Amino acid sequence: MALGDQSGFGVAALTTQTTAGVSSAIEIGGRDIAFQVTVASIGTNVVIRMEGSLDGTSYFNLDQTNADTTITANGTFGYILSSAPVRYVRLRVVSLSGGTPTVSGFIGAQ
């Protein structure tokens, strides 16, 4: 069952990342998506990309301008994507600069 199918809103944890790469993919059942990203032990910056897919195989940047997001401080950050009709979502860590950062997060969908 996809996240958000049953209750109208659901939340799932993503895998924690310490290197560049992708988190686990989550199947969702809604069009409104929230990404909650927590970064710890940052050095200079962490660059992330929120990705979506229709088939669970080929993923694309959910940012309409195709831009990645740069985070320069430790903390928890939220990103809301409305009207994103995709079936699968994941978080890509594009790059890590300095320190030994960890990137973890949650996906919410409705």
Question: CATH number of the domain that 44 lies in?
Answer: 2.60.120.200
Report yes or no on 92 lying in a domain: yes
Number of domains forming the structure of the chain: 1
- Answer yes or no: is pLDDT of 5 > 70: no
Report yes or no on 5 lying in a domain: no
Report yes or no on 84 lying in a domain: yes
Report yes or no on 76 lying in a domain: yes
Backbone angles phi and psi of 8, in degrees to 5: 90, -20
- Answer yes or no: is pLDDT of 74 > 90: yes
Place of tokens 């799932």: 12
Contact, 104 vs 31, CB < 8 A? no
Return d(Cα 75, Cα 86) in angstroms, integer.
27
Return d(Cα 30, Cα 87) in angstroms, integer.
8
**Tens-place pLDDT, residues 13-70:** 999 999 999 999 999 987 899 999 999 999 999 999 999 999 999 999 999 899 999 9
Contact, 14 vs 92, CB < 8 A? no
Return d(Cα 83, Cα 63) in angstroms, integer.
12
Specify the pLDDT at position 6: 56
Return d(Cα 89, Cα 99) in angstroms, integer.
27
Instruction: Work out the end-to-end distance of the chain between its first and last CA atoms, rounded to an integer number of angstroms.
Output: 13
> What is the domain range of residue 48?
10-109
Report yes or no on 3 lying in a domain: no
Report yes or no on 1 lying in a domain: no
| Per-residue confidence band for 84, with pLDDT thresholds at 50, 70 and 90 | confident
